Amino acid sequence: MNYCFGSQVRRLTAPFIFLMLVALTLAAQAPALKPQTRFANFNGVKVHYDNYGKGKTALVLIHGWTCDATFWQANLPELTEAMRVITVDLPGHGQSDKPEKLTYSMETFAQAVNAVIIDAKVERAVLVGHSMGVPVVRQFYKNFPAKVAGLVLVDGSLWPMGTKESMKQYLDPLRTPEFRKSQENSVNFLTGGMKDKAVAEHVKKTMLSAPQHVIVGAFDGMLDPEPWKEPVKFTVPVLATMAANPQWTKDYEKFVRESAPGIDYQVWPGVSHFLMMDEPHKFSATVVTFLKRSKIIL
């Protein structure tokens, strides 16, 4: 009886030990997703960022209008396996300070990103900008070209999205006490095509929690003609991933290809404005392929 029991134990124990070893091996190989949370000082404004990994070159992820650093969460497992990653909350967003007297311009945002890069001791960055993050990374490149190893443009524009006059019907309601209703209409439009409803609800909740002065200030900043007066030619590797949308015309694509010779310009069907959240694996894999092809990583 004891022999039979011992045999059963051995038969049960061997597979268990094997599974435990596999689990421990996978755990050791998994990327460390516990970030180092820090705040950079930008002219007295605390700018929140999360750092994953080490290295003098980093992938810096920059969100869009009234969004925050959590919008990249699903991309982190694969991206952090490839290289050091930093996610930023721009001033007025997420866990960063939201002072009412700050000018929420593309220049302000670019300088805030620079403050993060200095604080994180990054020498060169691959800047990934989504939506409003695209004019932010454009402005950063214009100011600090030597600090940029590459750019990833995610469904955002390299030319002006309009003027304050042409966008008056959208901007003016945001200045009123009933601004939330107007903002909600915009947010519902942007999230309408999202595949995962739970993710869409997170996007809506985040965007609709933004303070009015940030909503208006950042919108004003995107429409400010000053940053667009001088054309920018990009000499670093550039990847653009765009959701299929009539606004991305052939003329726009031609302009982008002339501004960034050699750009990898991709238009993805069946995704929303938040394509990195709709297709996190595809997006992350596309970015890693771009990094390898550009010899930013091996």
What's the pTM value of the predicted model, to 2 decimals? Answer: 0.88
Q: How does pLDDT run across 93-109, given as a tens digit for each residue?
A: 999 999 999 999 999 99
**Which residue type occupies 64?**
G
3: pLDDT confidence band, cut at 50, 70 and 90?
very low
Q: Are 263 and 239 in contact (CB under 8 A)?
A: yes
Domain extent listing, the chain? 1-30, 34-293
Phi, psi (degrees; rounded to nearest 5) at 156: -140, 170
Label residue 164 by pLDDT band (50, 70, 90). Answer: confident
Out of 3.40.50.150, 3.40.50.1820, 3.30.70.330, 3.40.50.1240, the CATH code matching 34-293 is 3.40.50.1820
Whether 12 shows a pLDDT value over 50: the answer reads no
Would you say residue 155 has pLDDT above 80? yes
CA distance 83 to 54: 8
Give 70's pLDDT tier (boundaries 50, 70, 90).
Answer: very high
pLDDT at 31 over 60: no
Which contiguous run of DSSP H or E holds residue 35? none
Calculate the alpha carbon distances from 116 to 79, 156, 286 in Å.
Answer: 19, 22, 25
Give 177-245 as a DSSP string.
TTHHHHHHHHHHHHHTT-S-HHHHHHHHHHHTTS-HHHHHHHHHHHH-SGGGSS-----S-EEEEEE--
Give the separation between CA 71 and CA 241, rounded to whole angstroms.
16
Residues 115-152 pLDDT 10s: 999 999 999 999 999 999 999 999 999 999 999 999 99
The average pLDDT across 184-201 equals 94
Mean pLDDT across 71-81: 98
Query: 259: burial class by Cβ within 10 Å (0-12, 13-18, 19+)?
Result: middle
pLDDT in tens, 209-263: 999 999 999 999 999 999 999 999 999 999 999 999 999 999 999 999 999 999 9
Coil/strand/helix, residue 90: coil
Q: Are strands 45-52 and 36-42 parallel, antiparallel or unpaired?
A: antiparallel
pLDDT bucket at 298, cuts 50 / 70 / 90: confident
d(CA 60, CA 149): 11
Evaluate if residue 24 carries a pLDDT over 60.
no
DSSP code, position 165: T
- 17 pLDDT tier (thresholds 50, 70, 90): very low
* In the predicted structure, residue 168 carries a pLDDT above the cut 70: yes
pLDDT at 9 over 60: no
* Model confidence band, residue 8 (pLDDT cutoffs 50, 70, 90): very low
Average pLDDT, rounded, for the chain? 91
